[in-house]
Structure 1
């Protein structure tokens, strides 16, 4: 999120202090400008709004009178909205990764039902748009293996998922996020950015990797009958050769076992939540 208030497009010089104050107030109260965030300096705000320093000072005075901004020395101003989020302890994020058919979505749903938190599943969130985009690009809507999908579509899916996660964090809403995250969780820099994003919003992050043996994964994929899995099932041995079943994310994580004979997901979910509550 940008550290300066967004002027919402081109504005004529002389934008009133009332309009500026209203826009920044809305950004604070909607969570776009979080409690404790430092606002840009007076000159930077004046430039971004295409207005005078005096106008910015008047707008800031209005917000200070409302208690939404604390003025400090040298034009330093801090957002003050401690009661702006419903979750006083900060939002919690459980990010669940795993190979297709591992049971990560099912585990995410179990957690969401136990907690009442929002659930963001990549397929549910992005699939209709992905399929439409692939068709416009001349590909099968079920393609998940081509360079077209991997280089043009997949990055946008994860960008959209991260943006939705961010918006929930801004609103103080705890979230369960489910997606393969196979590329992302092996990238230390990506993991560091994720941790920083959650910390920036005073949240708590728990990463989960769902493990599942190959035979059970194959059974799950066949049973769900999704067209996007046809290529995997038709080339199972080759597909399996490309998986690292002993994969470990480049960030602290908890492993959940969804293989045949493993403990029920509901039991493992309760155990995970108990550990998080003790933090």
Structure 2
């Protein structure tokens, strides 16, 4: 199965993705931020990368799916074109696709998360609050799972997601 997790920075995507990967047997977490920063560290490109990180993520994800693994593909996934591309990866691999949007509906909590977190990827620059709220982010047009992490412990958000995936 392919589980595509998207949402604005600071909503809890990475935390939720990691917890879900640990929970599901045979699951792997593919994180676009990690891929993009590796490309930057290689010296081949600078931020913003454009579609390069996503293209690598799509290829890795399809390889993992063809090996029989469940993939949790995590990125901001702000555009319908990227969401369509993830869905196409699942179709090519012949697996079901679940699309998940992670939100934090409490603006003060979301801002606090964005302004107080630290990066876990060496050299990765986290966006400022203004960049998050001004970011291009198209509404999700088709049916998908929404997980609101506001006011919840990560384990509560995980339980909500697992229940909806079942």
Q: TM-score scaled by structure 1? A: 0.50
- Out of 228, 233, 241, the residue aligned to residue 125 of structure 2 is 228
Equivalent runs, 1:1-279 vs 2, <5 Å: 92-116=1-25, 117-133=27-43, 149-150=47-48, 153-183=49-79, 186-187=80-81, 190-212=82-104, 213-226=106-119, 228-229=125-126, 232=128, 236=129, 238-243=130-135, 248-261=139-152, 264-274=156-166
SS class of match (1:215):
helix
Return the alpha-carbon distance in structure 2 between the equivalents of residues 191 and 266 of structure 1: 22
User: Do the aligned partners of residues 125 and 201 (structure 1) sit closer, same or farther apart at CA in structure 2, a change above 3 Å counting?
Assistant: same
Unaligned 5+ segments in structure 2 are: none
SS at match of 2:47: helix
**CA shift at 1:240, angstroms?**
4.9
Q: Which has the higher contact order (CA 8 A, sep 6+)?
A: 2
Distance 1:198 1:220 in 2: 32
Counterparts of 2:117 and 2:148, CA distance in 1: 19
TM-score normalized by the length of structure 2: 0.80
Aligned length: 159
Q: Find the residue that maps to 2:72 and give its secondary structure.
A: strand
Point out the structure with max Rg over C-alpha: 1
Change (3 A) 1:192 1:127: closer
Structure 1, residues 13-64: CA drift from partner, whole Å, max 9, x if none? xxxxxxxxxxxxxxxxxxxxxxxxxxxxxxxxxxxxxxxxxxxxxxxxxxxx
CA–CA distance in structure 1, aligned partners of residues 52 and 132 of structure 2: 26
1:73-115 deviation per Cα after TM superposition (whole angstroms, max 9, x unaligned): xxxxxxxxxxxxxxxxxxx000000111110011111211111
Question: Is the Cα–Cα contact under 8 Å of residues 4 and 74 in structure 2 kept in the other structure?
Answer: yes
Measure the CA separation in 2 of the matches of 1:174 and 1:241.
Answer: 32
- Report runs of 4+ in structure 1 exceeding 4 Å deviation: none
Offset of residue 248 of structure 1: 2.8
Deviation at 1:271, TM superposition (A): 0.8
